[in-house]
Structure 1
Amino acid sequence: MKPAADQARSSAENPDGETRLKITEIFCSLQGESSSVGWPTSFVRLTGCPLRCQYCDTAYAFHGGQWMTVAAIVDTVRAHATRHVCVTGGEPLAQKGCLPLLSALCDADWRVSLETSGALDIGSVDARVVRVVDIKTPGSGEVQRNRWDNLPLLRDHDEVKFVICNRDDYDWACGVVREHALDRRATVLFSPSQSELPAAELADWLLADRLPVRFQMQLHKVLWGNVPGR
């Protein structure tokens, strides 16, 4: 039997030694979140995630998928003819092949963003990538998974997202923004959990407090609902 390290290596490489990733789907849609909202975007959704947020809307990406080489992924994205590419999941950084994929997409001159849970190290991500880091609130059920060491690594073009489930989440998130001066490090986004908090209620709280963050809703869900591949 192969050692565990060799087994992992063989599953992530094809016989020619090319890096492979497990992919749930690659599709074209409008970016529904972040500062790039509204742009036609190619999405590369990687399979697998070590977290289990109670409001997760992409649980179908926890398992399954198909192996693809970095070159095949780049070719598929190229066929969509978009300027923007978003690598998402699941949790993309859970696959070691995510890092060379991000660099390959940048080398091909796309505007590349990464949506990550914030539970894994972002320090090795290509500096050209916009890192959208989701800080997990208590309402997510995964607050203990936050990797606080990531916050000092944020750059001006990066973004931090909080999904707010209730007033307690909101107050907690406000405290994190202030404690870490997040608005001075990156763009900060507050988004309501679709099934738990009316969007207008969160908007009213932000207006009342004049917090230096951006309100956002998931545009793709407003347009098409919670449909995979949209």
Structure 2
Amino acid sequence: MKSEDLRISEIFHSLQGESRTVGLPTVFIRLTGCPLRCQYCDTSYAFSGGEMQSIASIIDQAAQYNTPYITVTGGEPLAQPGCVELLRQLADKGYSVSLETSGAIDVANVDARIVKVMDLKTPASAEEQRNLYANLDYLDSKDQLKFVICNAEDYAWSKAKMTEYQLAQKCEILFSPSMGQQDPTELAEWILADQLPVRFQVQLHKFLWGDVAGK
């Protein structure tokens, strides 16, 4: 095993279900492991297991699909130090690469070409204390900051964080209802009533395939 090898849960081709590239055919590289335990997590199967693979092998598998879009996700991909090198090499190959990260691990060393899709964990996530607010300094206009909203208290908290850190001036803001906990229509109506400068999103893949892994 080489130091840059990574433990991979799965590599699959699907439609992007969230973020700015929603609906586009995308290769997903899911890394194993996560130090967080959000109460709404839908990828707990990626907490353990997986298979050690070289970066070259990972890139070869991604190249089988005719799409320029790659998302590196988890788990928490940055929990594996080799993730930063994987991201760099994917960008070197000319891919449009996004990183889905919890916001709990330092993103300072992530290649500037990578689109960061980063969470701020709300109180109802049960992991609010893990937010690393210094990461906000590394977000720019190409990046996206996601709030998964579970209830009215989460919504109010998220609005307050937007004001406190002037988040709409840093990057695009995503508000997403937690499936089965926050009614999507209600969240959409709150956003419209408050005239928030955010992108409302639902998880497209769950409407198409439910909670099927590898989709």
Relative to the length of structure 1, the TM-score reads: 0.92
After TM superposition, give the deviation of residue 18 of structure 1 in Å.
5.7
Q: For residues 108 and 217 of structure 1, do their structure 2 counterparts lie closer, same or farther at Cα, with a shift above 3 Å needed?
A: same
Give the corresponding residue for 1:32: 17
Unpaired runs of 5+ in structure 1?
Answer: 1-13
SS at match of 1:80: coil
Q: Please say if 1:21 is aligned against 2:14.
A: no
Q: Report the secondary structure of 2:20's partner residue.
A: coil
Which residue type is aligned with residue 162 of structure 2?
V
Counterparts of 2:177 and 2:86, CA distance in 1: 31
Alpha-carbon deviations, 1:143-177, whole Å to 9, x = none?
Answer: 00000001111111010000000000000000001
Q: 1:154 aligned to 2:139?
A: yes
Describe the SS at the equivalent of 1:23. Answer: strand
SS at match of 1:189: strand
Using the TM superposition, give the Cα deviation of residue 195 of structure 1 relative to its aligned residue in structure 2, in angstroms.
Answer: 1.3
Distance 1:122 1:146 in 2: 12
Number of aligned positions between the proteins: 215
Could you list the structure 1 runs, at least 4 aligned residues long, displaced by more than 4 angstroms after superposition. none
* Partners of 2:162 and 2:122 in 1: CA distance: 12
Q: Percent of pairs identical after alignment?
A: 56
Contact (CA 8 Å) 1:18, 1:69: kept in 2 or not? no
Structure-2 residue corresponding to 1:8: none
Query: In the TM superposition, what are the counterparts of 1:66-215 in structure 2 within 5 Å?
Result: 66-215=51-200
Structure 1 position 223 matched with structure 2 position 208 = yes
Larger radius of gyration: 1
Whole-angstrom CA distance in 2 between matches of 1:129 and 1:97: 15
Distance between the aligned counterparts of 1:186 and 1:22, measured in 2? 31
Question: Structure 2 CA distance, aligned partners of 1:67 and 1:81?
Answer: 25
- Secondary structure of 2:89's aligned partner: helix
- Whole-Å separation in 1 of the counterparts to 2:132 and 2:40: 20
8 Å contact kept, 2:3–2:82: no
**CA root-mean-square deviation:** 0.7
State the Cα distance separating 1:96 from its structure 2 match: 0.3
